Amino acid sequence: MPLDDNAVLNPAVGHYYFAPTTGQPIPDDITNPAAPWVDLGHTSLDDPFGVNSEGGETETLGTWQNKNIRNTTSARVETVTFALQQWDEHAYRAFWGANATTIQAAGRTVVQTPSIPEELEGALFVLVRDGAMGMFFHFPRVSIARADDIEFDAEKLAGLPVRATVLGMSGQDWTYQVGTLAPFSTPPGS
């Protein structure tokens, strides 16, 4: 395969979009998704995006006559991890649970964290930009929940670490889509 200098990606800029219902198709305008997609705001620059996978182990089955007759592979469960750094109601519900409630107290909105949090289910769209080029990940069904503890460090932005478990949809033989690296039809920022 020949080297292609235009097929490399520097994932320096990106956006996370969430739709509150599962099965949402890829947005018509990937650079500016419209409702029901909502931009989740600032996310971590230090660790912007990761797709983690568990499972997928292969086991070789055999008989007395043929020790290596067939392979079987377990199902994979994939998750997307990221940190929400915009402390607002969208982030609170993703981190503390879809059933987190808000009240007014001391002149502020206060989030009441549930003792048994419900995961936030919907669709996730991740846009990755590299200048005039970019690509995307489209997850039509995810379940978002807290991924780790909150840590405050005076030299870093505070964030809410979450993980989105990629779920399947009945009648669909794929779990997510990845857009190829290509030029955007509109310039970044327009």
Mean pLDDT across 137-162: 93
Secondary structure (DSSP) of 120-132: EEEEEEEEEEETT
**The pLDDT of residue 186:** 53
pLDDT digit string, tens, across residues 64-79: 999 999 999 998 899 9
Question: Which residues are CB-contacts of 28 (< 8 A; sequence separation ≥ 6)?
Answer: 34
Q: Which two three-digit tokens encode residue 98?
A: 């879809």
Residue of 25, 43, 50 whose CA lies nearest to 87: 43
**d(C-alpha 112, C-alpha 157), whole Å:** 23
Q: How high does pLDDT run on average in the chain?
A: 91
Residue 15, judged by CB atoms within 10 A of its CB (0-12, 13-18, 19+), counts as: buried
pLDDT band at 188 (very low <50, low <70, confident <90, very high): very low
Taken as a whole, the chain contains a residue count of 190
Q: Which two three-digit tokens encode residue 12?
A: 């320096």
Question: Which residues are CB-contacts of 188 (< 8 A; sequence separation ≥ 6)?
Answer: 13, 31, 129, 131, 132, 134
Per-position b or e across 101-122, b if 16+ CB within 10 A of its CB: eeeeeeeeeebeeeeebebbbb
**The pLDDT of residue 176:** 96
| Higher-confidence position of 183 and 146 | 146
Q: Which two three-digit tokens encode residue 128?
A: 């990755």
pLDDT digit string, tens, across residues 28-60: 999 999 999 999 999 988 878 888 899 989 999
